[in-house]
Structure 1
Amino acid sequence: MASAVAADAPLKPLRQQYVVVMRHGDRIDNFEPLWVSTAARPWDPPLIQDGRVRAFCAGRKIRTQLGFPIHRAFVSPFLRCIQTAAEVVSALCAVDDDPNATNSDGVSIDPSKLKVSIEYGLCEMLNREAIRIPPKDGEWGFNLSELESMLPEGTLDHTVERVYKELPQWEETVLGARNRYAQIIKELADKHPSENLLLVTHAEGVGVAVSAFLEGITVYEVDYCTFAQLRRSISSQEPSLAAGEFEVLNPGQTGIRYMPSSSIADGAI
């Protein structure tokens, strides 16, 4: 009879899991200040055309330069993130990608390459520091069917259960939002340990992806479509899996600016 595996037997290394956390592209209200005066949903600005271009190019960069595939994407329900994800996913799934293409128009894709889902936990900070003009009636008016129809055909995954079943409550604190971002990154990774993930979210979410896993620093600026890269080891001992701690890859890359947290405490910023 074969002997039982000892309870303290070492876990066998299985693979590395990568999580890419990206900010959305260029939002219209930062370039056309009068847009909000006539907008039906001033709290939910779309991308400008340059934002689409930036997002598509970021997706191409992920596909060609990072050295690992993306299997699954999750996206904030805000329009700018949905539009960003549509461009990024198109670039990731492109078939015979034309190097001169600058957005998803006319790009043929293979939707089997990855799946996409909307996740409320990746939404913008729901407070006045982030939302300039909130809805007066408290209704954000996200039409999921409409938003899902904007994602590349064939990529949507309806089988995934959301971590956050609804939006956070309005006027969450900045600290509360940061804790939410740290939690959602880990929970999504834990739910899909055999896949590499792309999370399309907001500037604060990208900042947390760095500061939560790189001790002693505070991120103070994140450019449009900049992304943080996280990596951790996944080990196995049947029938369970165990995950290591996330490490931040290339934290000093262009587009993410940070400084030691002690400098902020000392009044340096």
Structure 2
Amino acid sequence: MEIAKSNMNGHQNVIVMRHGDRLDHCQPLWVSTAERPWDPPLVHDGKVRAFQTGQRIRSQVGFPIHRVIVSPFLRCIQTAAEVIAGLSAVDLDHNAMSSKDMPSIDNSKFKVVIEFGLCEMLNTTAIKSEVAPEDGKFEFKISDLQAMFPEGTFDINVDMAYKELPQWGESAEGFRERYVNTLKVLADKYPSDNLLLVTHWAGVGTILNKYFKDATKYIVTYCGSVELRRQVLKNNESEEFEVVTSHGVAFKDNKVPIHGVIFT
């Protein structure tokens, strides 16, 4: 089935979302025995949160998602898979807790792509030196990550915006530039598609900082997100994105939510 386009009104929508609850933050001792301590999976509650986020997006945002573009880190891959399950349930059951409770899904509505440009900050701000690979090389087996998504959803014919991972020790300025550039490249590549970008705290924070320069620190909860929209003209020229709303995001100092969204 061909993916339905919703952007006939000339607008493109992009949701930039943080991953769900990660295991090492819930069980700190996990890293002492983990084979890949820098790449934790989600805990069960994180999967539930991600699935329910997919349900919320489907029922509340008012536009369909056409492409899900995701960081290669396991916590983001698992988050995206659960969100897709919540988004694509044929008979939406609001009491379902995670994808295992929802056997009936329609996989024809989405295309999924892994994107190195959305990966975690590769420096000691985000990944402690004692858990990072000793040689500074973060390796991912893309075929294994592809297999975590429902059959028929992964788009194997799409090149990444960033074909290589950043070098370990990237600068703060470098990662901010990377996130902003990745958003622009992906949005321009798919101007008629609404996108869901599943990334890390720094990805959501960077996008916030771009549009709210007077607020330097934010609370971004697990699966917290920012919704952007821009006008796309017939010749594929486009206006600048604007922040429409957010979910699970607030200013750190006073807990005031972005654009009036209730922070919980």
Q: Which TM-score applies when normalising by structure 2?
A: 0.88
The amino acid across from 1:149 in the alignment is A
Of residues 240, 244, 256, the one that matches 1:245 is 240
Q: What's the offset of the Cα at 1:127? A: 0.2
Whether the aligned pair in 1 keeps the contact of 2:70 and 2:115 (CA below 8 Å) is yes
Asked if 1:30 is matched to 2:30, the reply is: no
- Alpha-carbon distance in 1 for matches of 2:105, 2:9: 30
- Alpha-carbon distance in 1 for matches of 2:142, 2:116: 11
- Alpha-carbon distance in 1 for matches of 2:243, 2:92: 30
- Alpha-carbon distance in 2 for matches of 1:50, 1:136: 31
The amino acid across from 1:155 in the alignment is T
Q: Which residue does 2:154 correspond to in 1?
A: 156
- Structure 1 runs of 4+ off > 4 angstroms? none
For residues 18-46 of structure 1, the C-alpha deviation after alignment (integer angstroms, 9 at most, x for no partner) is 00000000000111011001000000000
The amino acid across from 1:63 in the alignment is R
Of residues 218, 233, 250, the one that matches 1:256 is 250
In structure 2, the gaps of 5 or more residues are 1-7, 255-264
Q: What's the offset of the Cα at 1:139? A: 2.7
For residues 95-140 of structure 1, the C-alpha deviation after alignment (integer angstroms, 9 at most, x for no partner) is 1022211111142211111110100000000001101211012232
Of residues 173, 176, 179, the one that matches 1:178 is 176
Whether the aligned pair in 2 keeps the contact of 1:14 and 1:235 (CA below 8 Å) is no
The amino acid across from 1:120 in the alignment is F
Whether the aligned pair in 1 keeps the contact of 2:220 and 2:248 (CA below 8 Å) is no
The amino acid across from 2:61 in the alignment is L
Asked if 1:65 is matched to 2:60, the reply is: yes
Of residues 118, 138, 141, the one that matches 2:139 is 141
Secondary structure class of the residue paired with 1:186? helix
For residues 165-208 of structure 1, the C-alpha deviation after alignment (integer angstroms, 9 at most, x for no partner) is 01011100112111111111111000000000000000010112
Q: Which TM-score applies when normalising by structure 1?
A: 0.87
Secondary structure class of the residue paired with 2:108? helix
Secondary structure class of the residue paired with 1:232? strand
Secondary structure class of the residue paired with 2:10? strand
For residues 31-90 of structure 1, the C-alpha deviation after alignment (integer angstroms, 9 at most, x for no partner) is 101100100000000000000000001111111001111000100000000000000011
Q: RMSD value over aligned CA atoms?
A: 1.6
Q: Which residue does 2:127 correspond to in 1?
A: 131
Q: What's the offset of the Cα at 1:215? A: 4.0
The amino acid across from 2:114 in the alignment is I
Whether the aligned pair in 2 keeps the contact of 1:58 and 1:225 (CA below 8 Å) is yes
Q: Which residue does 1:202 correspond to in 2?
A: 200
